[in-house]
């Protein structure tokens, strides 16, 4: 079975989320949890961006043993030197160098012609190769780059020593078909492509980051760049938890394996949410508060008979406890069956008449209150018991 490497960029692209600023102790806490989760590569930060980030990358590099630790660098000697200083004591170091390749970035941002973009990349990959065995090179805005130019520059940077080639959909503009085609083209048109592994890096501006990552691996990528809770620039990056669970649950379709410890997913999501201050939306796939909650009476009835009627992921798979999973959410769409189950969970015995009264009172309350909590239900039951 093909193994897909998980490259987590929560601490670099994820930290680029507006309003997020982690200190080095917080970054280390997240890195340790990512190591427990079993990610293959931790992108710890961008050492040349600030002294604080340099120190954070160094602390992570000095501590983490089981994951490769990498850091971002522009195609500048100083960035590469800073990354080397930060990473030199880690067990498995990797440098991640990037330069934009698309016409719009070349003309307006870099003011470089194609030849200069190739030469700069080759020179800096060769320079980095004197310090690192693993050199990842990213073609920023790859998905809006001319395919023949992309093939040309990839061949050159591999010759210069790049071992991982990352092709980002930097602005989240690609469709899965286009993104997959880019990988297919590179596989078929870069003569030395077998000397490197290909990587996806998808942004979620059009909500396609997960689908695009899948299209990438279906066309030859063996590494996916992801972040916890999908955080990152603008609408964020492909979410680790969604891809991990998709590859696991639909292994019958895709047939890939990863080294992830799936039941560490919820804990990792909670740590990242707490330390970044970014709440996870309630209906977020896999880890949202409502991801395992069923409100409709028909669904609840099905769940009570066989959970597979409406649940394709077992909460325990990703480390969501039964208390957290909020499986049968009681609201205005819920039926008597689920209500009876809730009463039982409180250890309270009701006669048939009492149960009918309690259920009617509960239904009335759902018309007035947005969320009926366990405390509300308990209060209804106590009122009936006291009145009796």
Binding site for ligand KIV (CB under 6 A): 13, 98, 138, 140, 166, 168, 170, 201, 203
**Cβ distance to Zn ion smaller for residue 5 or 201:** 201
Backbone phi and psi for residue 349, each to the nearest 5 degrees, phi listed first: -95, 130
Residue 201 annotated as binding? yes
Residue 13 annotated as binding? yes
Site string for Zn ion, 12-51 (x = CB under 5 A): -x--------------------------------------
Taking CA 340 as the corner, what is the angle to CA 355 and CA 357, rounded to the nearest 5 degrees? Answer: 20
Shortest approach of Zn ion to residue 233 CB, angstroms? 6
Report what 204 binds from ligand KIV, Zn ion, none; CB cut-off 5-8 Å by kind: none
225 binds Zn ion (CB under 5 A): no
Q: Which stretch binds Zn ion (CB under 5 A): 10-18, 46-54, 89-97, 263-271?
A: 10-18
**Cβ distance to Zn ion smaller for residue 140 or 264:** 140
Residue 105 annotated as binding? no
Contact status, residue 156 vs residue 122, Cβ threshold 8 Å: yes
**Cβ distance to ligand KIV smaller for residue 202 or 271:** 202
SS3 223: strand
Angle between the N-to-C axes of helices 114-129 and 77-87, in degrees from 0 to 180, rounded to the nearest 10? 30
**Cβ distance to ligand KIV smaller for residue 168 or 315:** 168
Residue 333 annotated as binding? no
Contact status, residue 40 vs residue 6, Cβ threshold 8 Å: yes
Closest chain position to Zn ion (CB): 13
SS3 249: helix
353 token code pair: 């008449």
**Cβ distance to ligand KIV smaller for residue 121 or 138:** 138
Q: What is the DSSP letter of 141?
A: T
Shortest approach of ligand KIV to residue 287 CB, angstroms? 23
In the chain, beta strands by DSSP E: 2-3, 5-8, 41-45, 68-74, 93-100, 134-140, 164-169, 197-202, 223-226, 256-257
CA distance readout (Å), 147 to 101, 185, 225, 240: 10, 7, 21, 28
Annotated binding-site residue numbers = 13, 201, 203, 237
Annotated binding-site residue numbers for Mn(2+) = 13, 201, 203, 237
Residues that bind Zn ion (CB under 5 A): 13
């Amino acid at each position: 079975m093909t193994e897909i490497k998980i490259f987590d960029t929560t601490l670099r692209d994820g930290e680029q989320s507006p309003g997020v600023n982690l200190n080095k102790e917080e970054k280390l806490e997240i890195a340790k949890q990512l190591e427990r989760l079993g990610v293959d590569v931790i992108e710890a930060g961008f050492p040349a961006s600030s002294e604080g980030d340099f120190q954070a990358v160094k602390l992570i590099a000095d501590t983490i043993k089981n994951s490769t630790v990498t850091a971002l660098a522009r195609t500048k000697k100083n960035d590469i030197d800073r990354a080397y200083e930060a990473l030199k004591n880690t067990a498995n170091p990797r440098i991640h160098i990037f330069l934009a390749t698309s016409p719009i970035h070349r003309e307006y941002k870099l003011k470089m012609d194609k030849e200069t973009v190739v030469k700069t990349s080759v020179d800096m990959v060769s320079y980095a190769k004197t310090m690192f065995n693993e050199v990842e090179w990213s073609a920023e805005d790859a998905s809006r780059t001319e395919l023949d130019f992309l093939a040309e520059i990839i061949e050159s940077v591999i010759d210069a020593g790049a071992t991982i080639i990352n092709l980002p959909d930097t602005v989240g503009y690609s469709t899965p078909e286009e993104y997959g085609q880019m990988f297919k083209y590179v596989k078929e048109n870069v003569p030395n492509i077998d000397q490197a592994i290909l990587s996806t890096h998808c942004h979620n501006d059009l909500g396609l980051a997960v689908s695009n990552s899948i299209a990438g691996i279906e066309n030859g990528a063996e590494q996916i760049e992801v972040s916890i809770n999908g955080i990152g620039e603008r609408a964020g990056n492909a979410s680790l938890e969604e891809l991990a669970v998709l590859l696991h649950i639909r292994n019958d379709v895709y047939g890939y394996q990863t080294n992830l410890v799936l039941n560490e997913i919820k804990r990792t999501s909670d740590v990242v949410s707490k330390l970044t201050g970014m709440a996870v939306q309630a209906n977020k796939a896999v880890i949202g508060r409502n991801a395992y909650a069923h409100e409709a009476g028909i669904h609840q009835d099905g769940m009570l008979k066989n959970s597979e009627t409406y649940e394709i992921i077992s909460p325990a798979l990703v480390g969501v406890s039964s208390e957290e999973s909020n499986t049968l959410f009681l609201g205005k769409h819920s039926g008597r069956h689920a209500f009876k189950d809730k009463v039982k969970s409180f250890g309270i015995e009701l006669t048939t008449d009492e149960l009918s009264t309690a259920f009617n009172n509960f239904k009335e309350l759902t018309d007035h209150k947005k969320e009926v909590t366990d405390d509300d239900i308990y209060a209804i039951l106590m009122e009936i018991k006291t009145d009796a």
